Amino acid sequence: MTTDKTNTPAFTQCMENPGNDFVDADGTTAKVIATAGAKDARIYHVTVTSTDTAANKIYLFINNGTKSRGIGWCDLAALAGTDGATDSVSVLAATSFTHRRLDNAGNPFFQLKATYTLEMSLGTAVGATFEVNAIVEQEDY
């Protein structure tokens, strides 16, 4: 949250579902999947699906406008969330992703400072003709 001092409780004001798509030409370059609003954001979910027939790794970063810093990773199964048999990946719920807190109901989340971006990259480029999709559940304050 911002450093403004107040006695008024902070409540999220709007829900957003940003995201991005990754194709072969993107290689392993990090791409923005969410941007915090003017008064910070809370990230509840990062869900990733893949049409690629090869497994991969997902890496998340927070960028402060100057530098990207890694905050965690998880595995991405081949065909995750697209073949009717393999689940999509909930990055924040993955045991290998430790940059999170739990809300009162035990659900993972983390805060994203105003104007900071959440970025994602892959361990290897997506195969030709395939795609990896990321969607974020975000609430801005």
pLDDT in the model for residue 31: 98
pLDDT score at 98: 83
- List, for the chain, all residue ranges whose pLDDT scores fall below the cut of 50: 1
Instruction: Identify whether 1 is part of a domain.
Output: no
In a domain, 49, yes or no: yes
pLDDT of residue 44: 92
**In total, how many domains does the chain have?**
1
Whether residue 8 lies inside any domain: the answer is no
Domain carrying residue 97: 14-140
CATH of the domain at 33: 2.60.120.340
Residue 123 CB-half CA count within 13 A: 11
DSSP H or E run through 63:
strand 56-63
Radius of gyration of the chain (CA): 16
Query: pLDDT digits over 91-116, tens only?
Result: 998 888 887 888 888 888 889 999 99
Half-sphere exposure at residue 76, Cβ-oriented, CA atoms within 13 angstroms? 31
Beta pairing, strands 101-102 & 108-112: antiparallel
Q: Are 138 and 33 in contact (CB under 8 A)?
A: no
Question: What is the model's pTM?
Answer: 0.89
Within a domain: 125: yes
Taking a C-beta distance cutoff of 8 angstroms, is the pair 26, 121 a contact? no
